């Protein structure tokens, strides 16, 4: 079974991106699983804290989950035309210590999607993630893009995906990413 980890870059309870992640978990192709994880509980990165106390337990558990998964789906909001600070902070912690970088992110299939109330979706945030993912050594899937714009019209007030066109796009996106992750896993097992 192909197992993916999904992270929303928002802490807000009624986040469109958390809703998009939940929708993705429910639309996974047969024989696959998307485990919805959270960045909630990850402290602000502080090298002094890391030196004094080590890697926080919440970060260690999430690192292990990502390392053992076949792929990582990042569902990114767009704040001030870029990456949300809380999401980047989580990735910064997940990359520590740098000797663990390869185990967690090295060659890991990663995909980006996002939802925004604005008219351009999360194009600027997704673009801002590119150099970060390149540095981490992740294997970014470039086979498609999903940027949900005007998210307030796509989700019900309870956070349920209600737009059939977006649902179809999300389903197709997930099928493509799963195929990419499975091919990567097969390559790795042959090597």
Mean pLDDT per 10-residue interval, the chain, length 191 residues: 97 96 98 97 96 97 98 97 97 96 97 96 97 98 95 96 98 98 84 60
Contact 185, 69 (CB under 8 A): no
Residues 10/39, Cβ–Cβ less than 8 Å: no
Q: Give the integer Cα–Cα distance in Å for 154 and 122.
A: 15
Closest CA to 99 of 61, 69, 127, 137: 137
Instruction: Report pLDDT digits (tens) over 39-85.
Output: 999 999 999 999 999 999 999 999 999 999 999 999 999 999 999 99
Instruction: Using alpha carbons, select from 145, 71, 68, 78 the residue that is nearest to residue 112.
Output: 145
pTM above 0.85, yes or no: yes
> Contact 16/82 with Cβ under 8 angstroms?
no
What is the predicted pLDDT for the residue at 187? 80
Backbone angles phi and psi of 41, in degrees to 5: 95, 0
Residue 90 tokens read as: 């989580």
Q: How high is the pLDDT of residue 188? A: 73
Instruction: List the CATH code of the domain at 2-190.
Output: 3.40.50.360
Two tokens at 14?
């009624």
pLDDT at residue number 131: 98
Domain ranges of the chain: 2-190
């Amino acid at each position: 079974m192909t197992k993916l980890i999904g992270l929303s870059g928002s802490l807000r309870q009624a986040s469109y991106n958390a809703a998009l992640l939940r929708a993705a978990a429910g639309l996974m192709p047969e024989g696959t699983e998307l485990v919805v994880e959270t960045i909630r509980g990850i402290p602000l990165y502080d090298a002094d804290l890391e030196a004094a106390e080590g890697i926080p337990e919440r970060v260690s558990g999430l690192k292990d989950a990502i390392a053992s998964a076949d792929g990582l789906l990042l569902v990114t909001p767009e704040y001030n035309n870029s990456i949300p600070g809380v999401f980047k902070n989580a990735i910064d912690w997940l990359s520590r210590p740098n000797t663990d970088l390869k185990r967690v992110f090295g060659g890991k299939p990663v995909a980006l999607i996002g939802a925004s109330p604005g008219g351009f979706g999360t194009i600027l945030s997704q673009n801002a993630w590119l150099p970060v993912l390149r540095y981490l050594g992740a294997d970014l899937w470039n086979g498609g893009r999903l940027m949900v714009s005007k998210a307030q019209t796509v989700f019900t007030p309870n956070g349920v995906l209600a737009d059939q066109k977006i649902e179809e796009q999300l389903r197709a996106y997930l099928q493509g990413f799963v195929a990419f992750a499975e091919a990567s896993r097969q390559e790795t097992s042959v090597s």
